[in-house]
Amino acid sequence: MKKDDCLFCKIVAGEIPSTKVYEDDVVYAFEDVNPMMPVHTLIVPKNHYDNVAAGIPNEELGHLFNTAGTVADIKGIKDSGFRIIVNTNDDACQSVHHVHVHVLGGEPMNDGDPSKS
């Protein structure tokens, strides 16, 4: 199922260009156009769901998250470490309302502890 006015649905359909990292029957992964880390890849389900709380079938949701490890391996950060983030709705800064997983890595991350900076 596709939503006609959704940016990510258009990317999945090939109507808007992207730099593909991975694709299978369920998900599409591509490079973020405004990366926050050396590695910043987005993974989206091919079916449209507004957010992670939108009743995504368990198999599809599990596949979406399991793909994070595949993407991290492709991008060469699986062993060094990576972070996955899912923003849900406006107050959590979800800018595109099609559920998506951010895979971030490629350099050490600060956990907020100033002694580790």
Split into its structural domains, the chain has a count of 1
In a domain? residue 60: yes
Work out whether the CA dihedral 32, 54, 86, 75 comes out positive or negative.
Answer: negative
Q: What is the pLDDT along the chain (117 residues), one digit of tens a residue?
A: 778 789 999 999 999 999 999 999 999 999 999 999 999 999 999 999 999 999 999 999 999 999 999 999 999 999 999 999 999 998 898 899 999 999 999 999 877 655 554
Structural domain range at position 11: 7-116
In a domain? residue 2: no
CATH code: domain of residue 105: 3.30.428.10
CB contact at 8 A, 68 and 101: yes
What does the angle CA 34 – CA 90 – CA 7 come to, to the nearest 5 degrees? Answer: 50
Our answer to whether residue 48 is catalytic in this structure is no
pLDDT value of residue 112? 62
In a domain? residue 55: yes
Continuous segment of H or E residues that includes residue 70: helix 58-74
pLDDT value of residue 113? 58
Task: Give the active site residue among 97, 98, 100, 102.
Answer: 100
Task: Enter the pTM of the model.
Answer: 0.91
